[in-house]
Amino acid sequence: MGNIIQVQDFSVHDGDGIRTVIFFSGCPLRCRWCANPESWTMEPKLAFFAGKCVGCGLCASVCPRGLLRGLPRDGGREQPGAGTCGGQDPGCTACGLCAERCPQGALRVLGTAMTAEEIVKKVERDSIFFGPSGGGVTFSGGEATVQEGFLRELTEAFCDRGISMWLETCGFFPFENVRDILLRLDHIFFDLKHMDTQIHRRMTGQGNELILENCRRVYETGIPVTLRIPAVPEVNLTAENLRAAASFILEYTPGAELELLPYHAYGEEKYEALRIGGDHFFSIPSGRSMEQAEEFFRGQGIRVVRYR
Judge if 124 and 24 occupy the same domain. yes
> What is the extent of the structural domain holding 53?
45-110
Q: Is residue 304 situated within a structural domain?
A: no
Could you say which of 56, 90, 110 is where a domain stops?
Answer: 110
| Cα separation, 197 vs 209, whole angstroms | 7
Clarify whether residues 142 and 101 are in a common domain: no
Query: Of 110, 127, 142, which closes a domain?
Result: 110
Rounded Cα distance between 104 and 95, Å, is: 18
Closest CA to 308 of 236, 226, 244: 226
Q: Each residue's pLDDT tens digit in the chain (308 positions)? A: 999 999 999 999 899 999 999 999 999 999 999 999 999 999 999 999 989 999 888 998 899 888 775 444 444 444 443 334 444 567 788 899 999 999 999 999 999 999 999 999 999 999 999 988 999 999 999 999 999 999 999 999 999 999 999 999 999 999 999 999 999 999 999 999 999 999 999 999 999 999 999 999 999 999 999 999 999 999 999 999 999 999 999 999 999 999 999 999 888 889 989 988 888 889 999 999 999 999 999 999 999 999 97
Contact 268, 274 (CB under 8 A): no
Q: By the 8 A CB rule, do 53 and 77 touch?
A: no
User: Do 62 and 169 reside in the same domain of the chain?
Assistant: no
Q: Provide the 3-class DSSP secondary structure of residue 300.
A: coil
Total domain count for the chain?
Answer: 2
What is the DSSP pairing of strand 136-140 with strand 257-262? unpaired
Query: Which residues have CB under 8 Å from 237's CB, separation 6+?
Result: 231, 285, 289, 293
Cα atoms in the 13 Å half-sphere on the side-chain side of 60: 20
On whether both 173 and 256 belong to a single domain, the answer is: yes
Q: Does 250 share its domain with 167?
A: yes
* Alpha carbons within 13 A on the beta-carbon side of 177: 11
Whether residues 25 and 119 fall in one domain: yes
User: How many Cα atoms within 13 Å fall on the side-chain side of residue 145?
Assistant: 23
Choosing from 91, 110, 129, the residue where a domain stops is 110
> Is residue 228 domain-shared with residue 126, that is, in the same domain?
yes
